[in-house]
Structure 1
Amino acid sequence: MNEDGTGEGGGRATERLLGLIREHHDSIRAQLGEEGYAVLLSRLEALAAVAADDERGRRSALQGVRRALRPLSFDHPVRAALDSSRLVAAPPVPADVDVARELLAWLSAPADEPEPPAGTRPGHLLLDALTLSAQEARDRCGGPPPPELIRVPGSPEGARYPRFQFTAGSGAPYGVVLEVNRLLLADIDPWGAGSWWLSDNSWLGGAPASLLGRLSDDRLVGAATQLVEGE
């Protein structure tokens, strides 16, 4: 137990993990590849966006970060820390949100290479997507939108809903979108779920959102299941 009462089983374990991500950033990105790295960034953004007093949200967001790191090789220092029994059992504390924000600020710092075009950085895809207002989404759903739908919080008009989730004909949500979003825990991690839908997927041959109505529902669900179970 440390003097501040957190101990390794409290906030220190998560702080250590986030510190290792920063220390071994280059090798993490190389091993995860661009798709896996995009997922990791979106999960870190989800953790950074959690309210400090939302314990359930912190736990879920941290679990998302851990899952995103699972594809690392077993001899990687971050994977070794990830498999530590003390780390697995460690509940996140409010300070972890601040550490995640500091890590994201460091990752977002200007580098020697040019900044990627707008809309291509993970986590910003949802902000660039066409959306519906809460009232428009309510109208299309015939009542309160189901919690499985991805919501983009924080705009002056309130939460907004990415348009790709709704059919062009009836305007109702795609059934497969609700099914996949349940797998991706979109109600807890909208940034991670949105990144999956809007990023290119080499297994599917394009961004899943662009393939709605063109690819079978089973293929989309299978790809999401592979991601979740593979992590």
Structure 2
Amino acid sequence: MNEEGRGPSAEPLLALIGEHLESIRTALDDEEHALLLTRLTALAEAPPDDTMAVRRALQGVRLALRPLPFGHPVRAAVDGVRLTAAPPGPAAVTEALALVSLMAAPDPADAGPVPVPVPGPDGTSATEAAGAVEAADGRAPDPLLREPALSAAEAAARCGGAPPPELIRLPDPANGDRYPQFQFPSGCGTPHPVVLEVNRLLLADIDPLGAASWWLGTNTWLGGSPASLLGLLPDHELVGAATALVEGE
């Protein structure tokens, strides 16, 4: 534990990932493993002296590890790490860079290495670059892009102007930006206020895929996917579940 009773810092979690790379690869499917690699790449590229950037990238790594089974030692550590603990330092970025190298190395049991998504010369983000790599390879896009969504124009019409940055915006190389439909009431109306509040907690503007994964994935605490429970559960329960994720409770 760190001082003042706060949870452990993030560096031990990254070291634990390195110790269990083989079992992580077995436990995650191809898309989940590729997403974890993308998130670690984003962490490795974060400026080491920018605490907020490193903390946000670490949150993305934590979200990507959530599909691990609860009995997995890394999954247990995910819930024990608080991003509000001691500020992550350069060691987290260095550790992430080492993990990316290990995860991208050729697997003797596989046909070849997992491609490492990297930002393009035009400043494309790591997540967007990953989508471009998938499109070039002819592989299916991120499954989140197959969820019901509004186009950028439709989202702007609902918002009465440019969609707020708190909304999840998923870049789709084939069809342009997509805004997951659950963020809006059925039929018409502006975004759900609780969605905007939770998205701020999940840093959706920085990590839209991670935020979308939280909303659309099964949440054992809530008893279903948060998106399916909009309007059925009190807003404060959804906010509480997202806060618990961010703070590692």
TM bin, normalised by shorter chain, reads 0.5 to 0.7
1:18 offset after TM fit, Å? 5.8
Q: Is the 8 A contact 1:127 1:152 kept in 2?
A: yes
Q: 1:45 aligns with which of 30, 38, 45?
A: 38
Whichever residue aligns with residue 92 of structure 1, its letter is V
Moved more, 181-190 or 41-50: 41-50
Could you tell me which residue of structure 1 aligns to residue 161 of structure 2? 143
Could you tell me which residue of structure 1 aligns to residue 91 of structure 2? 90
Q: Is the 8 A contact 1:133 1:159 kept in 2?
A: yes
Cα 1:50/1:71, change in 2 over 3 Å: closer
1:48 offset after TM fit, Å? 3.7
Instruction: Determine the C-alpha separation between the residues in 2 that align with 1:138 and 1:51.
Output: 34
Are residues 1:229 and 2:222 paired? no
Could you tell me which residue of structure 1 aligns to residue 206 of structure 2? 188
CA deviations on 1:32-82 (whole Å, 9 max, x unpaired) are x99xxx999856433446896x74796331354268668429xxxxx8xxx
1:139 offset after TM fit, Å? 0.6
Q: Is the 8 A contact 1:134 1:161 kept in 2?
A: yes
Cα 1:190/1:40, change in 2 over 3 Å: farther
Instruction: Using the aligned pairs only, state the percent identity.
Output: 53
Could you tell me which residue of structure 2 aligns to residue 24 of structure 1? 20
Q: How many residues align?
A: 188
For residue 90 of structure 1, give the secondary structure of its aligned residue in structure 2. helix
Could you tell me which residue of structure 2 aligns to residue 163 of structure 1? 181
Instruction: Determine the C-alpha separation between the residues in 2 that align with 1:105 and 1:186.
Output: 30
For residue 179 of structure 2, give the secondary structure of its aligned residue in structure 1. strand
CA deviations on 1:157-193 (whole Å, 9 max, x unpaired) are 3211111111114331110000000011111111111
> Normalized against structure 1, the TM-score is what?
0.61
Gaps of 5+ in 2: 1-10, 66-73, 111-140
RMSD of the alignment, in Å? 4.5
Cα 1:139/1:156, change in 2 over 3 Å: same
Gaps of 5+ in 1: 1-13, 74-78, 80-84, 111-122
Instruction: Determine the C-alpha separation between the residues in 2 that align with 1:88 and 1:70.
Output: 22
Instruction: Determine the C-alpha separation between the residues in 1 that align with 2:104 and 2:232.
Output: 36
> Normalized against structure 2, the TM-score is what?
0.57
Cα 1:51/1:167, change in 2 over 3 Å: farther
Q: Which has the higher contact order (CA 8 A, sep 6+)?
A: 1
